Structure 1
Amino acid sequence: MAAVTNLLQPVELDLESLLIDLRELIGAGHPILQAAAEHLFSAGGKRIRPGIVLLLSRALTNDGELSPRHRRLAEITEMIHTASLVHDDVVDEASTRRGVETVHSRFNYRVAVLAGDFLFAQASWHLANLNNLDVVKLLSRVIMDLADGEVKQGLYRYDPKQTFDDYLEKSYCKTASLIANSAQAVGVLSGVSEEKLKSLYDFGKQLGLAFQVVDDILDFTASEKQLGKPSASDLGSGYLTAPALYALQENPTLSEFIQRRFSLEGDLEKALHLVRESNAITLSRSLAETYASNAYKSIEWVPESDYKKALLDLPEYVLSRLY
């Protein structure tokens, strides 16, 4: 399966100019905030979210050309995503992301929180300047969802009584909402029908959920080197994801380890063993495959082009990370 850089190749030049524009948009604000933002945008990353916006934007135009408003929407999407990562890293106390020092490690926690706020505020300002109330509502909803997801994640820590719906709702807020709502916003700017707007939203939602479930499986199956963080770090931190919840249904004794927060020696290793020996990974894979398949079907109506082909390859790319 192609690497994501190959998948995004049809919009490679758009993504390059997006990074240049982002640096200009952040502009001559406060020097430290500017330095923090510069640091973030030069920290690599796959740029999947703005890539999806750009691919959809070009796929839905008659001549494949990109309007300034579609371009700006992709920039706003990346700003919102980056702002959420800064705040995530503060909450998780992560020292690196993508092999680069996090903002709070390089500066301090106060600067990191302010840099995240700064990017959310910048995104909101540029969003308002698109002068499209429907798009403003869609992307404002994302900013609410991101905060909501972070709060929910904190509330459900070490809680074996949380439901699968709780987990999916949190996953939607943290990962899928941005992809779903920005995909729908592309449709709004492109003037597609109500029915097609819904299918664009579904594409983003299903792809985002597939992405999150795959991430959650990898936390149990990938090595530390592949993950860029300690494996099973989610479970150790009390975050119960799809594999842990499936394992709990199969073997309720797992809840004892969770409730005492893996405080006894060997607790975490025993819990991991229970998850890996159960059907949890197989069931989680099947769930991710269902979401990926739904995402694929949601945009079959998009006119044929290299952009559409890249979009249809994305669900398969998400699953390919498991193999």
Structure 2
Amino acid sequence: MKLKDMYTFVKKDLQSIEAELERSVSSAHPLLQQSGTDLLKAGGKRIRPVFVLLSAQYGDYDADKVKKAAAALELIHMASLVHDDVVDDADIRRGRRTIKSQYDDKIAMYVGDFIFARALQLMSEIREPAAHQILAEGIREMCLGEIQQIKEQFDTEQNVRQYLRRIKRKTALLIAMSCQLGAIASGAPVSVQRNLYEFGYNAGMAFQLTDDILDFTSTEKELGKPAGGDLKQGNLTLPALYAMYKVPGLKEKIMDYYAGKGELKPLLAAVKESGAIEFSAKASAAYLEKAVVAANMLPNHAARTSLLKIAGYIGRRKF
């Protein structure tokens, strides 16, 4: 089953969010207009807006109100990717040239800032103060995660706890907020908001763990960017950290590679042969189990069925 088949009953509202995104990135400035259009054309799973829409089903569902929050969260995600590409010096994402590779770092940073600002404009139409407090705290944590990643880049002495804290800030919190804010925007009960947050957090951790596995196991065509990019860029993810622990001398070889000696291909092979992929897959499955527990505590609704199906998709996706 394809991802889009798991939430067909919100398909119409998801289309309206796409139109909202197009309006949000439009600008009288040609460069901003082109950059925003390029980002939207690159596509994406739109998993965050989907979670907003599904979570909002547990309250007084108002599509016009909820779509503002959904579009805002997707814009925040898009802006963070633009900034990520500058930090990582990435030229390709989703099979397309990044904003920084088309223009330069300075322009890319301001394009990201512009998209962030548009997200905040959309959120200003949500009247619940709690929503803004949660969003502000979430963005703060995301920034800390970005700084943490820069600080830990090429650091072969980092541990798994640091890695998990990093992916929590960079990925899981925004997905958790998507679930939580959808519920808040529709006035869902607080207990439901908490369960949705727990679902989103654990699904988000599993989502990023799966991403980090696929960086070692998928092809460039499947990923839409060069395979092995994380290790090459000095972003040491769980598979690499586990392999360094299990394989004698691998850490030293990775350090040599970062010092300009050796090649990437043998390192990728060593990680895959170490059992790191299987170990990381088990870690992802453990988070998904927690996500399923949280979802099963929600009231029986078509939205719950969709959330559970998406959790299953996260566990088996190949790109």
Q: Equivalences for 1:268-287 in 2 at 5 Å?
A: 268-287=264-283
CA contact (8 A) 1:135 1:185 kept: yes
Give the equivalent residue in structure 2 for 1:238: 234
CA distance in 2, matches of 1:189, 1:79: 17
User: Which shows bigger deviation, 221-230 or 236-245?
Assistant: 221-230
CA contact (8 A) 1:104 1:111 kept: yes
TM-score normalised by structure 1 residue count: 0.91
CA contact (8 A) 1:4 1:317 kept: yes
Hey, which bits of structure 1, 4+ residues long, moved more than 6 A? none
CA contact (8 A) 1:124 1:140 kept: no
Find the partner of 1:61 among 59, 62, 65.
59
Give the equivalent residue in structure 1 for 2:5: 6
SS of aligned partner of 1:93:
coil
CA distance in 2, matches of 1:285, 1:264: 31
CA distance in 2, matches of 1:97, 1:8: 26
CA contact (8 A) 1:138 1:181 kept: yes
CA distance in 1, matches of 2:306, 2:175: 16
* 1:218 to 2:214 alignment: yes
One-letter amino acid matched to 2:131? V
* 1:305 to 2:301 alignment: yes
User: Which shows bigger deviation, 282-291 or 307-316?
Assistant: 307-316
Give the equivalent residue in structure 1 for 2:202: 206
Shift of 1:122: 1.7
Q: Equivalences for 1:1-323 in 2 at 5 Å?
A: 2-58=1-57, 60-61=58-59, 65-263=61-259, 265-322=261-318
Question: Gaps spanning 5+ residues in structure 1: where?
Answer: none
One-letter amino acid matched to 1:293? E
CA contact (8 A) 1:158 1:261 kept: no
One-letter amino acid matched to 2:59? T
User: Which shows bigger deviation, 308-317 or 36-45?
Assistant: 36-45
User: Which shows bigger deviation, 262-271 or 159-168?
Assistant: 262-271
One-letter amino acid matched to 1:276? K
Encode CA deviations 1:52-95: one digit per residue, 9 max, x unaligned.
1112212x136xx4343222110111111111111112222222
CA contact (8 A) 1:180 1:200 kept: yes
CA distance in 1, matches of 2:183, 2:223: 34
Shift of 1:261: 3.6
CA contact (8 A) 1:57 1:186 kept: yes
For the structure 1 residues 124 and 309, does the alpha-carbon distance in structure 2 shift closer, same or farther, using more than 3 Å as the test?
Answer: same
One-letter amino acid matched to 1:86? V
CA distance in 2, matches of 1:199, 1:261: 44
User: Which shows bigger deviation, 259-268 or 237-246?
Assistant: 259-268
Over aligned residue pairs, what C-alpha RMSD do you find? 2.1
User: Which shows bigger deviation, 300-309 or 313-322?
Assistant: 300-309
Shift of 1:264: 5.7
CA distance in 1, matches of 2:154, 2:100: 26
TM-score normalised by structure 2 residue count: 0.92
CA contact (8 A) 1:210 1:289 kept: yes
Shift of 1:145: 2.4
